[in-house]
Amino acid sequence: MAAAGWAEPSDVDKSAFTAPAHYEYALDLYADAGHIVVGDHVEVDGTRYKAIGRSNFDHGPFGWAPGLDVIKLGRSTG
């Protein structure tokens, strides 16, 4: 599946999110809403990650619906 993009999370986002045991919050993936769920494995640029969190901004107060989920991707720490 194609994605709209990806980026490293900010230090503020990293400190505000508690990743599951043995995972480091490593990347935000912007993908079509509803296609990736927490627990799925995703490959980005040749590296395998696990979906460890998800945000959706389609229901904000201003009526703008981008149709994208922000998937928090984790890298295994062991």
* Residue 15 φ/ψ, nearest 5 degrees: -75, -25
Summarised one tens digit per residue, pLDDT across range 64-78 is: 888 889 999 999 998
- Residue spans per domain, the chain: 5-76
Query: Which pLDDT value is given to residue 22?
Result: 96
Exposure of 2 by Cβ count < 10 A (0-12 exposed, 13-18 middle, 19+ buried)? exposed
User: Strand, helix or coil at 57?
Assistant: coil
Q: Is 78 exposed, middle or buried (0-12, 13-18, 19+ CB in 10 A)?
A: exposed
What six digits make up the tokens of 2?
Answer: 């194609």
Residues 26-57 have pLDDT tens digits of 999 999 888 999 999 999 999 999 999 998 77
